[in-house]
Amino acid sequence: MRFAVLGAGAIGAYLGATLARAGSDVTLIARGPHLQAMIEHGVRVQSPRGDFTSHPAATADIDALAEADVIVIGLKAHSLPELAPAIGERLRPGAVVVPAQNGLPWWYFQGQHGPLAGRTLESVDPGGVISRSIATERVVGCVVYCSTEIVEPGVIRHIEGTRFTIGTPDGVATERCGEISQALVAAGLKCSFDEQLRRQIWLKLVGNAAFNPITTITRSTMGALRGSERAITYIRTVMEECAAVAASVGVELPISIDRRLEAGLAVGDHRTSMLQDFEAGKQLELGCMVDAVVEVAAMTGAPVPNLIALSELTAALEQLRDAGAAGASGVAPP
């Protein structure tokens, strides 16, 4: 079984390096200095489980997808609509797509029954381009419980977590799902199939929708938020709104909000992916993490005033950053 990782950033490169070290056939697809470093020196992983260097194949050529049985999508969710048609065109017979991405996935309302069945989430799949390009039966959903960051090109810091929970839109365990799980477990990772993957999606999202924007606005690590009772109170309020939206689509979280809050704070000295993107001048993942929840809330009538405010404030912060960068370069902002 051959793996390709499209968008081999912090998570994708870590996963690919770990699989390759265990003997899996892996190709990483990336670009820029990060790609060049991986080609020249391999993927260097710094981890509390032990540092290692792995040498999977690495390329900028998207045509490498055509040789893969499993395509792991490590791209940010907002980057996928543009590339989805190219991905769909290159899928070989029997190949599956594993989106290892944050937030609500484009396929969330596919493969299920109910009043919202088949609905498109415009926040993550504008115009339904991803849904048209990648058939539902090709999807193996994935929830990543793993914190990593790129220290420098080709160097990944693995902070904590090794769990990748997978599932299909219709909840049926396929033979391919078993093969994926076996490969990850053989690489020393945790990978189980969950027929109720949407519950795991919401469990992670309840934290991401609150922690990511709030750490970005406050420029704080997860653990540093403990120093502000007001921040913790607001995080809990946002989490409760998210949980109410999950309940409005029939999902009950498997743990309490307080336990989910404490688990996030316990990560400690970690900058969320959104804070990392903000500091790097990159586009923020508001669409999949926050706006998609607001969109679902509008479908079901769940009130989410704090989520809406958080989205607007974070988007304003991003605009101000970009305007400042444009001004500093002498280029007028659009």
Tokens of 157: 């810091």
Provide φ and ψ at 331, rounded to 5°: -105, 125
- What's the one-letter identity of residue 212? N
Say which of 76, 190, 204, 282 is annotated catalytic. Answer: 204
d(Cα 121, Cα 98) in Å, to the nearest integer? 18
d(Cα 6, Cα 98) in Å, to the nearest integer? 10
Instruction: Count Cβ atoms below 10 Å from residue 315 Cβ, excluding itself.
Output: 15
DSSP state of 139: B
Residue (of 329, 18, 29, 4) closest to 184 by Cα position: 18
d(Cα 295, Cα 250) in Å, to the nearest integer? 16
Is 282 noted as a catalytic residue in this protein?
no
d(Cα 169, Cα 139) in Å, to the nearest integer? 7
Active-site amino acid positions: 204
